Structure 1
Amino acid sequence: MATYSNMRAMRALIKASLQAMFKSPSAIIFTIAFPLTLIIVFGFLGNSNGFSVKVASAPGSDTTSPLYNMLRHVSVLKWVDTHDSGGVNKLLQQGDIVATIEIKKNPEGVKPEYILSYKESSSELNKAKQMEAMLATIIQQADPELRRRMDDIVQVKTEVAQIREYKQIDFILPGQLSFSLLASGVFGTAFVFFNLRQTLVLKRFFATPVRREVIVISEGLARVVFQIMGSIIIISIGHLFFGFTLAHGIFTFINMLVMCALGLLVFMGFGFIVSAVAKSESTIPPFSNLVTLPQFLLAGTFFSIDNFPVWLRPFCKALPLTYMNEALRKISFDGANLWDVRMDILVLTLWGIGVYLVAGKLFKWE
């Protein structure tokens, strides 16, 4: 008689789970269709006008200088004209402009001839964070004469750095990818294990030699494989069609996939908890939304958490999806490796330990 093999049982369970996922419309929607639709929408919006920054001239700025006239003709800068200092401050406070630019001319014979400074707002993604280096780069690249005489003509209060174009897709895609992992990990795991328990499939497994942990690990591995396939599709389409930045090419791609696998394993713990506390299938969506909706709105999926009130930011920074979003953005755009985002990984790991301890106490096999 052949010896029973838990490994063979695991392979069979993984295959069965994958087949069920590929046949499930909801799994396809949460994993690929929903995030991909949003990425395509934001990709077209982001690429329609390119990268641009709305700015205004600060009250009292020298608008007759050649430097000012040059900046007015730079396509990246979208100027909003207002002659009222109160109106300028209001535009800045409301986020209608990213910064005010001030140009002051020094007395004749004093070097540099101009001092350029700005007052920034953090209302539009990370555009304000790029303003200083971008202004210096624009000035240097726009006119060869200015490049040769930069130190004599103008001083920009900045440390010049090489700027890679930061497109809207570079912010949106990691957020949508993270959320698809969260939604699949919570909703998918909760529904699967609730239904396996309600249909007595888990109970029937106990009549076989298969070990309990093999059942859980098999479902987890199947979901990881399925989600990684979805992540490959999303990242590839974002990169090929919308210019999503992969700082170090294939190495960045691989690091993102590893980060996705780790995030999914953490988020699945929430799904185990939901499947344990839900009394019927109809109660799974409300419980799942309690986990996913606050993170979807507050974890920096669509916009930076810096836009929230100061009192709300500590809560935003406590959410696991926040660290997933930040890690993926650092890896994709900044070229960070997994060691560079170790603090984000540590926080996610601590969340994973916590939720699995709770899930272990609450999870029911029958």
Structure 2
Amino acid sequence: MFAIAKGSFRAILRSPSAVVFSLGFPLIFILVFGFIGGGGPSIRVAMSPSSDTANWVYYALEKFGNVKLVTGEPQDKILSDVRKGRITAIIDITRNPADSAYPRYTIHTTTSSACMDKFPLLETVLKTLNAEIDKRAFPGRPSFSTLAEPVVLPGREYRMIDFILPGMLGFSLLSAGIFGVAFLFFNLRQTLVLKRFFATPIRRTYIVLGEGLSRVTFQMITAVVIIGIGYLSFHFTLVHGWATFLDMLLLSFIGLVVFMGFGFIVSSVAKNESSIPPFANLVTMPQFLLGGTFFSTDAFPGWLQTFCNALPLKQLNDAMRDVAFEGAHIWDVKGQIGYLLAWGILVYAIAIKVFKWE
């Protein structure tokens, strides 16, 4: 078994396509998004439950194109998102006492140290809206509202790399598990190498395990390289240091084993080498696009989000991000792991039925 694993590992290293799909493409995406940084000028804000929303300031803020009002979220989650930089600020528009003619309102803001790159833009927006209201609705009078000093909470910045790297790691694992295994076993079957292995005294299980072990070893090395470059070059967040790093490797191992099951199925149902990519893309493309790999699925309609959450890559990506940035441990993502294991049982049950030695 180990002899087969050693020979197969050497073959992987000599295969340009294996190296490009497993390591090259994910690193290119990480470099591109890592250098891009924090994204565009869009600002997400939430209104305090006690805020007065029946005034000109709120109406103008609601219609302002670069500002997105977050609604329907519980306050503890909003505070957590502010601390992590996902929401720029909580706004509380307070009506001043009736005996004070102007300013009629005071705008209070709560932000965090993780939002210091976007909060000045929000301040500019609020001041601009105030000036427009004063100019159009209350010309020649004192300001309609005033902006109070912000309350700044301690926070941890959520960078683009914290979202994109787990997605690229999942991209690498899914590509290697399906394309790598499918082409490997199809070629072994076509060249009758698998049949010759089968004729030797080695047990069939060890033949498959030997080939699988080489793939797992190569991909775990790839995962270490991807996480290491993200951490050292782009300050990818590993909340608990080495513990988080090991948790991510364990999740990578679980995800890879599940995805390899899809590869076994594709290699068995494909009639020729040219039919492997269509079958493989049928499995991978929906997961790449709808599994939270390149962008969040929060903007999708509810029915589509339900479909997204059924995908194994989406569960793996969510677990990776929860562990890396949110500080969750491996037992805190047992729901996603259980989902992946359920997929693994289903996939390998099918793979055992359709697997061919010739």
Moved more, 206-215 or 169-178: 206-215
Letter in 1 for 2:351: A
What SS class does the counterpart of residue 305 from structure 1 fall into? coil
CA RMSD, 1 decimal: 3.4
| TM-score normalised over the length of structure 1 | 0.74
TM superposition shift of 1:207: 2.0
Identify the residue that residue 124 of structure 2 maps to in structure 1: none
1:134 matched to 2:112: yes
Tell me the equivalent position of 1:222. 214
Q: Deviations over 1:60-96 (max 9, x none)?
A: 229xxxxxxxxxxxxxxxxxxxx95774279649xxx
- Equivalent-residue separation in structure 2 for 1:136 and 1:288 (angstroms): 41
Q: Label 1:86 to 1:15 Cα distance change in 2 as closer, same or farther (>3 A).
A: closer
Counterpart Cα distance in 2 of 1:295 and 1:247: 27
- Say yes or no: does 1:11 pair with 2:2: yes
The CA deviation at 1:13 is 0.7
Query: Any conservation in 2 of the 1:46–1:168 contact (CA below 8 Å)?
Result: yes
Q: Which residue of 2 aligns with 1:106?
A: 96
CA 1:19 to 1:105, structure 2 compared with 1: closer, same or farther past 3 Å? same
1:239-258 map, 5 Å: 239-258=231-250
Match of 1:311 in 2: 303
Change beyond 3 A, Cα 1:236–1:211: same
* C-alpha displacement of 1:134: 3.4
The runs of 5 or more residues in structure 1 that have no matched partner are 1-9, 63-82, 118-131, 143-152
What amino acid sits opposite 1:54 in the alignment?
A: I
- Note the C-alpha offset of 1:107: 1.4
What's 1:42 paired with? 33
1:189 matched residue in structure 2: 181
In the TM superposition, what is the alpha-carbon distance from 1:334 to its structure 2 partner?
A: 1.3
In structure 2, the CA distance between the partners of 1:182 and 1:61, relative to structure 1 (3 Å rule), is: same
Cα distance in 2, alignment partners of residues 26 and 109 from structure 1: 75
Structure 1 residue 99: Cα displacement: 8.2
- For 2:189, the aligned partner's letter is R
2:64 alignment partner, one of 60, 68, 88: 88
Distance in 2 (CA, whole Å) between partners of 1:228 and 1:175 is 16
Deviations 1:188-232 (A, max 9, x none): 000000011111111111221011110111111111110010111
Q: Secondary structure at the match of 2:43?
A: strand
Residue 335 (structure 2) aligns with: 343
C-alpha distance 60-287 of structure 1, shift in aligned 2 (>3 A):
same
Structure 2 residue aligned with 1:363: 355
**Secondary structure of residue in 2 paired with 1:339:** helix
User: Structure 2 length normalisation: TM-score?
Assistant: 0.76
CA gap 1:238/1:281 in 2 versus in 1, 3 angstroms: same
Distance in 2 between residues matched to 1:61 and 1:43, nearest whole Å: 36
Contact 2:162–2:236 (CA under 8 A) maintained in structure 1: yes
- Counterpart secondary structure, 1:61: helix
CA contact (8 A) 1:53 1:98 kept: no
The 3-state SS of whatever aligns with 2:258 is: helix
